[in-house]
Structures are given as structure tokens and as C-alpha cells.
Structure 1
Amino acid sequence: MTTLLIKNGTVIDTEPEPVVLGQVDVRVEDGLIAEVGPGLPDDPDAEVIDATGRIVLPGFVDTHRHTWQTGIRAVAADLTFDGYLRRILNELAPAYRPEDVYAGNLAGALECLDTGVTTLLDWSHIQLSPGHTEATVRALRDSGIRAVLGYCHGGDPGALVREGRRVHDEHFGAGGGLVTMVVAALGPEIVDEAHALAEWRLASELDLPVTVHMGGQGPDSAARGLAFLEANGLLRPRTTFVHANHYTDEEFKRIAGSGGSVSVSPVDEMTLGIGYPVSGRARAAGVPTGLGIDTVTCAPGDMFSLMRAAYLLERGRPDGAGAGFTTRDVLRMATVEGAEVVGLGDVVGSLRPGKQADVLLLRTDTLGMAAAHDPIAAVVLNADPGAVETVLVGGRVVKRDGQMLHQDLAEVHAALAESAGTVTR
């Protein structure tokens, strides 16, 4: 048995709701949270991490990111959604080689870890060939992150089913380890109904959840899409609605009743003109709601920026209805509620004994974090990626004392730069 003790930190847990436990210790055994409490006994065989002056909390969960786009960061900063689709998916995506996908996914996953995101749902719609898919899976595994591959295939329904089965059987049939699979669906709002039915039937055949862009194309499209799911018996648990900006409160109640969830990307939804983020409305209807970067082509890549954006936009709703939204609410969205959205609510997202030890240590000895009276508010409103000192995934230290481990970052940067120059040429 391997044991790790995190001693003397200010610990925040998030389940059932975020709470500051005070200066307590965390014991990790064989990659799992074993015990959280004051003055845990020393173990001569344990590795000890001194967390004095640090905030200790669960790792963040990004519920929606197109990770392959890391090499084209900030290329679409001032575009509308139509402009984004034209520039990214129509012009740049076709130039991607498998090695570009690998470079982007590896660098993007490492960016997540470096900034405290320990679980990532990678909504991957760059499956141009089996080689592109192989590169996607290999990069996620090489990075050391806990990832859910959202497999999206834009070809005809027959090819979608054949490739989806192959990817599942070859890469996940014996269990994916840290990397697991869901079906990332384009339909019924982006592609035709036949394609949508093939996506959902594949998910049923393989017993996989679905993550789908629905509700972001306007109120009429949102209503038609939801009605399509209901008419075909597809409005069901383990479905995540991404960019669900145009659903009514009544439609959110139907999603809640089905066991569905929502992923909100507050920065991109505002900058691209998709719609006002629905963090408060979805949660008020009882829908588990998480946060997603979406794409670094027009948004920051860290959870601190997302938490602040979600908090400010909800508190500042024109109707005043978001005034009760708190920093605890948004931290929950970034951790245990996000874990529920990606189907890992019993695995990560809190420090509950028995869960995987995905843990962050944040510095408080900086001018921007010093003298914080409420550690939760400090995490949401004051911390930034520079505060992330140590990161654990499944009890394995992937960042220590501010330095990433296990990867040659110079090589990662060089490969990403070569890829960026190639795809934008």
C-alpha cells in the first residue's frame, strides 16, 4: 500500500456543499482519499506533503473542451459564432494531421493539469481518420489527466456506427483507465434526424452517456430538438446539454426530470453570441450544471477565469434573479457538480473517503491571495493559475512546487508551435 499525507493545509471540501474544514490533514492510500481530519497520525512509510499556508481542495472538472484546438489559441477572439464555425471548422480543421491532433491534445491536457483541472471532457470533433482518433486517445493518456473522450463522428450514419464501435472496442473495451468514452452527438439540432438517431442508438448499444450541443441555436430550434428527443424516447439520464442557453424554465424542468445535465461555457457563450449563460436557471430547475472552457480559440483555458465569469454573469442578470448565486455555488459547479455532469460523480469532485485523490494545493503567500478571510471566495475571486502549486490525479503527483512533472515541456511547446504554423499556413 502506498500512502501520502497532505498535512496542515486549509482544506475545502465540496460535498454535499462547499465548506471550509479548517486546518486538517488528508490521507491518501493507493490513490484514494482514505481520511480527512485534524492531526492524522504520521506514517513512517508515507510520503508527506507539507501544505502549511496552502489551500487544499478537490481538482477542477472541465465539462466541455475542444482540446484539439489548443494550437490555434486566440485565432477567433473577436468572431461571432458563425465566424467561428467558418474559420475553425471549415478552414482550419481540414488541415489537421494526426500529429497536429496529438500536439494540441497533449498540450491542452497539460494546460488543464497545470491550472488545476484534473478531469476533462474532451468534446472531440476532429475524427477525420482512424489516425486522428488514435492520436487523440494517445495524447490524453500520455498527459496523465483524467479524461472523458467525447467521440464525435461527422460522417454518414453507417460510418459513424462502424467507427464508434471500433474505437470503443479497440481503446476502451477492456476499460479505459483514466480515459473513458462517451458519445458526442451533433444531432438533432446541427445534423439531420437520421444522423441523430444513429448517434443515440450507438450510445445505447455501447452503454455510453451522450454529450450534445443542444439549446444554443435559438428558442425554436431548442424546442424542436427537445421534442425530437421526447418523441423518440431519447430524453433520458446520462445526457449532457451543452450551450443550453435558449431553453425555457419549463424545458429545464423536463431535462431535470429526465436525469439530464447541462454544461455552461460562460465566456464563449457571451463572446460568440450564443446566448446568456443559464447557470442559475438550470440549477434552479434541479439540473446538475458544470462549467466548460469550450475552446481557447476565443476564451481563456483556466477554471479560475470561468468561475469568475459565471459568478459575475449570474449575479449581474438584468432581472436581478441571480443575486442569490454565491461563490460556493460556482465552486460546486467547478468540482463535484461538474463531476456529476461528466458521469464521474462517485469518482471525483470532492474529498469524500473512497473517491479518487484528485487534489490541488493553492498558494496563499502571494499579494493577490494574502489575508483572505473566506478561502472559498478567495479561490473563486482571487486565485489564478499561478496559485496552483501542486496537483494530484489519482494520488499521483503531476505538478509539484509549481513545476509540471513527467513531460518535457520544451518538446511539447516545440511540437505545438510546428503544428500551429502548419495548420494556419
Structure 2
Amino acid sequence: MTSLLLRNGTVIDTAPAPTVLGRADVLVEDGRIAAVGPDLAPPANAEILDAAGRIVLPGFVDTHRHTWQTAIRATLPDSTLPAYLQRVLGELAPRHQPDDVYTATLAGALECLDSGITTVVDWTHIMFSPDHTDADIAALRASGIRAVFGYCYGGGDDLAALAAETARVRRAYFDAPPEAISMWMAALGPEIAGEERALAEWRLARDLDLPVTVHAGGHGAGNAARGLAFLEDNGLIGHPAMYVHANFYTGEDFKKIAANGGTVSATPAVEAALGIGDPATGRSHAAGVPTGLGSDAVTSGPGDMFGVMRAAYFLERARPDGAGTWFTTAEALRAATLGGAETAGLAGVTGSLTPGKQADLIVLRTDTLGMAAAHDPIAAVVLSAETRHVDTVLVGGRVLKRGGVLQGHDVPALLGTLDAAAARITAE
């Protein structure tokens, strides 16, 4: 048995709600959280990690990220959703070769780990060929991150080919017992690709026992209503699903989603930046829908959870007539941790310090001018912390960042390859 004891940190747990436990220890055994409390006795031969003067908390869960876009960061600031669809998906995406997908996905996954994101839902609308798919999965595995691989077939309009290739991916990579990477169907329909494709995707997801993650509710009130009605009419609304960009759903819509076991991923920074609509972070959570946060697209927004939490917090609290003032820093932190795990179907695996869960943990420095003398550790994490404060990252008990340095990867070499890919992809 391998053991690791994080000693004397200021510990924040998130179940059932974010709570500062005070100075305590966290014991990890065989990759899982074994105990949390003060003055724990370390097992023989346990590694001791001194967390004094640090904040220890569950790793962040990014519930919606197009990780392949790392090589086209900040290509579309100050823009709109139609411009994003044209420039990023219409022009830049087809220029990505499989090697580019591997490089960008690996760099993006390491960016997540570097900033304390230990789980990512990778929404992959870059799957133009089996080689693109294989490259993306290989990169996620190489990074060490916990991931949901959201497979979005990109080979054209042949629905038989969609079914065959999705089944190949499921069989080749995800038929074994669950590992750190699981598979979901990333569906384009019904609001983006139409109803025929939607029927094929959702029925295939049901046949292959894959949950669905879908862009739905963010394309205007009319489309939101029609899309949800379509799922109801075709008996699909009861299938496990994550609704991304649920901006235009009503309170009644959220009640239907909650009643059918659905979840919501809000990406407040990008939703605001691209004019998609008012983020549904608070409304969906208040309606009883498990709600998580996502960074979405680094083409137009931040790639770290600190920036996303702040966007969610300030946008909620800025609602007219004080309607969002109930949304506290604790609510933002929960959405970034346990709420995200619930949204991604991983509440039994990660998102809190509950003994028995996987040891997906982060340790934040507080000995900087930006974090020193913080009286409320939860508020400090949400309002003050940055990537540079992430000292240590564990996924499944493995130390993937130590002393502020990612472990096991030649980051300078990777960045060189990424820069070369970025120059070629964006060349006019």
C-alpha cells in the first residue's frame, strides 16, 4: 500500500457545501482519500507533504472545454458567437492535423493540471478522422488528468459512418472497466445539427450506454424551447445528459431537466464574451439542477478555473434588483468542485474530500502578496488565487505538480511544438 500524508494545511472540504475545516491533515492511501482530520498518524513508510501555510482542497472540475483549441488561444477576443463558428470551427479547425490535435490537447490538459483542474470534460468537435480521435485520447492519457472524452463525430453527414466510428471508439478504448478517462457522446443535435442527426446521436448513445453532453439552450429562447420539446417528444429527455450553455431555459425547463436527471454546464466567461446570453449558473442551481462550470474556449476566454469562478460570481451578483446576491464565493467554489463532479457524473469519484473518493487534490500557496493575510480561505480561493499559487496537484493520488512544477513532462519542448503548430494553423 502506498501512502501520502498532507500535513497541517488549511483544509477546505466541499461536501455537502464548502466548509473550512481549519488546520488538518489529509491521508491518501492507494490513490484514495483515507482520512481527513487533525494530527493523523502516518502509516509506516508514508510520504509526508508539509502543507503548513497552504490551502488544501479538492481539485477543480472543468465541465466543458474544447481542449484541442490550445494552439489557437486568443484568436477571437471581443467577438461574437457567429464569428466564432465561422473563424474557429469553419476555418481553423479543419487545418488541424492529428499531430496538432495531440500537441494541443496535451498542452491544454497540462494547462488544466497546472492551474488546479484535475478533471476535464473534453468536448472534441475536431474528430475529422480516426487518427484525430486516437491522437486526442492518447494526449489525455499521456497528461495524467482525469477526463471525460466527449466524442463528437466530425466525418460528415453519413449517419451510418457516425454510428460505426462511435462504436469503434467505444469498443477500442472504453469497453474495459472504467479508468481515469471515460467516454460520453458529444451531440451536435438538435439545436446545431438538426433533428435527424440528433435522433441518430441520442439513440446511439442509448444503445452504447453513453451519457450525452450537448450544446443546448444557448441559441435563443425559441431554439431552446423547440430543442427541449424535441427531446421530450422522442422519449430522449430521460437519457443522462449535460446541457451546455443553458442560458435561455426557463424555470419550468430547469424543473424538467432536474426531474429527468439532467445537469447543466455554464461557461460564464465565454458566454458573456461571445454574447451567447446571461449565464444560467445561479438559476439552474437554484432550480435543483446539478450545475458545474467550464472554461469552454481559450480562443475567447480564460483557461483556468480561477477566472471562470470569478466570472460566475460577479455576473450572478450583478443581476438586477439584487436577484443574484445569494450567490456567494462558497457557491462559486462548489460549482467548480463538487458541483462540477455531479454535472459530469463523477460525484462518487471526485469533487470533495470524502474518504473513499479518488485523491484528486490541490495545494495552494498563501505566502504571496496576493494571498497573504486572507481572513476567509474560501473567498481567497475564489477572489484572489491564480495559477501561480497552485503548488501541488494530485490526481488519483499521483503527484502531477510539485513545488509549482509539473512532473514528468518536458514542457519547454512541448511549448516549442505548440508554437510551431499555432503558426502554421493560423497562417493566412
TM-score by length of 2: 0.98
Which of 393, 396, 400 in structure 2 is aligned with 1:394? 396
Equivalent in the alignment of 2:420: 418
What does 1:24-423 correspond to in 2, within 5 Å? 24-154=24-154, 155=156, 156-423=158-425
Counterpart residue identity of residue 189, structure 1: E
Question: What is the Cα deviation at residue 164 of structure 1?
Answer: 0.3
Equivalent in the alignment of 1:20: 20
Counterpart residue identity of residue 50, structure 1: D
Decide whether the 8 Å contact of 2:205 with 2:212 is kept in 1.
Answer: yes
Question: What is the Cα deviation at residue 369 of structure 1?
Answer: 0.6
Secondary structure of 2:191's counterpart equals coil
Gaps of 5+ in 2: none
Question: What is the Cα deviation at residue 237 of structure 1?
Answer: 4.8
Secondary structure of 2:62's counterpart equals strand
Distance in 1 (CA, whole Å) between partners of 2:276 and 2:371 is 34
1:161-192 per-residue CA deviation (whole Å, 9 max, x = no partner) reads 11000001011111352111000000000112
Distance in 2 (CA, whole Å) between partners of 1:237 and 1:358 is 28
Secondary structure of 1:371's counterpart equals coil
Decide whether the 8 Å contact of 2:206 with 2:239 is kept in 1.
Answer: no
1:315-341 per-residue CA deviation (whole Å, 9 max, x = no partner) reads 111242101111111100000110011
Distance in 2 (CA, whole Å) between partners of 1:299 and 1:19 is 29
Decide whether the 8 Å contact of 2:365 with 2:391 is kept in 1.
Answer: yes
Superposition RMSD on alpha carbons, in Å? Answer: 0.8
Distance in 1 (CA, whole Å) between partners of 2:76 and 2:42 is 52
Equivalent in the alignment of 1:3: 3
Question: What is the Cα deviation at residue 388 of structure 1?
Answer: 0.2
Distance in 2 (CA, whole Å) between partners of 1:24 and 1:284 is 32
Distance in 1 (CA, whole Å) between partners of 2:193 and 2:403 is 47
Secondary structure of 1:62's counterpart equals strand
TM-score by length of 1: 0.99
**Aligned CA distance change for structure 1 residues 315 and 237 (closer, same or farther; 3 Å):** farther
Question: What is the Cα deviation at residue 208 of structure 1?
Answer: 1.0
| 171-180 or 160-169, larger mean C-alpha shift | 171-180
Distance in 2 (CA, whole Å) between partners of 1:226 and 1:207 is 21
Question: What is the Cα deviation at residue 308 of structure 1?
Answer: 0.6
Distance in 2 (CA, whole Å) between partners of 1:171 and 1:285 is 36
Question: What is the Cα deviation at residue 202 of structure 1?
Answer: 1.3
Paired residues in the alignment total: 425
Distance in 1 (CA, whole Å) between partners of 2:131 and 2:282 is 41
Counterpart residue identity of residue 88, structure 1: V
Identity, % of aligned positions: 62
Distance in 2 (CA, whole Å) between partners of 1:398 and 1:95 is 31
Question: What is the Cα deviation at residue 43 of structure 1?
Answer: 2.8
**Aligned CA distance change for structure 1 residues 250 and 217 (closer, same or farther; 3 Å):** same
Secondary structure of 2:127's counterpart equals coil
Question: What is the Cα deviation at residue 238 of structure 1?
Answer: 2.1
Secondary structure of 1:152's counterpart equals strand
Gaps of 5+ in 1: none
Distance in 2 (CA, whole Å) between partners of 1:238 and 1:326 is 29
Distance in 2 (CA, whole Å) between partners of 1:42 and 1:218 is 55
Counterpart residue identity of residue 175, structure 1: P
